[in-house]
């Protein structure tokens, strides 16, 4: 039996939203995506927030949403890739549920995000290099806060979710 909240962290393109939706369906839980919540509450895209308020402005909004969503019970939450940059977010995630770090190779992340224009931090001449730099900075934070680390390589979403459910069941023992 898996109890408590499950928070998915990891870089953009690791599959947090996709895995989160399927995991929520499998466990009969509500699913939330912190970036989607921010967009719904503000009525504008994450890209627009970055453009108008900068990354710092976005992070203030993100922290508020993370604090509110993690107060809910028995949810699955997919977070933005930079959520771990805030010490407060790390503390809240760690203390209010099970944290799952979805990891993938730089090649996989680059391939999965290559056509997505809605990712402000990747609107650069060399998105793959940007992913490498972001991962170098964030990976230690992901690992520090995570209860479980799971690679989302080439296997199907169904396989990833099944593996994750096994890992979560093992946490409860």
Say if 158 falls within a structural domain: yes
Say if 173 falls within a structural domain: no
Instruction: Count up the domains in the chain and report the number.
Output: 1
pTM of structure: 0.91
Judge residue 103's burial from the number of C-beta atoms within 10 Å of its C-beta, 0-12 exposed, 13-18 middle, 19 or more buried.
buried
Say if 39 falls within a structural domain: yes
What pLDDT digit, counting tens, does each position of 135-150 carry? 888 999 999 999 999 9
Say if 52 falls within a structural domain: yes
Phi first, then psi, for residue 71 (nearest 5°) are -75, -20
Distance CA(171)–CA(128), nearest Å, equals 34
Token pair of 47 as six digits: 């890209």
Residue 98 belongs to domain with CATH number: 3.40.50.300
Say if 41 falls within a structural domain: yes
Q: Which residue has the higher pLDDT, 158 or 154?
A: 158
Q: What is the mean pLDDT of residues 120-127?
A: 62
Parent domain of 127: 5-167
């Amino acid at each position: 039996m898996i109890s408590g909240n499950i928070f998915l962290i990891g870089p953009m393109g690791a599959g947090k939203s996709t895995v989160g939706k399927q995991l929520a369906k499998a466990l009969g839980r509500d699913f939330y995506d912190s970036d989607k919540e921010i967009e719904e509450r503000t009525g504008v895209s994450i890209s627009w927030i970055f453009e108008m308020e900068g990354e710092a402005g976005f992070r203030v909004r993100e922290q508020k949403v993370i604090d509110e969503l993690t107060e809910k019970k028995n949810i699955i939450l997919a977070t933005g890739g930079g959520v771990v940059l805030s010490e407060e977010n790390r503390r809240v995630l760690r203390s209010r549920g099970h944290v799952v770090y979805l990891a993938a190779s730089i090649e996989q992340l680059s391939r999965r995000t290559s056509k997505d224009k809605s990712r402000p931090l990747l609107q650069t001449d060399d998105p793959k290099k940007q992913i490498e730099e972001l991962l170098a900075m964030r990976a230690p934070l992901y690992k520090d806060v995570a209860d479980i680390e799971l690679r989302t390589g080439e296997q199907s979403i169904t396989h990833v979710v099944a593996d994750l459910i096994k890992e979560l069941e093992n946490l409860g023992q």
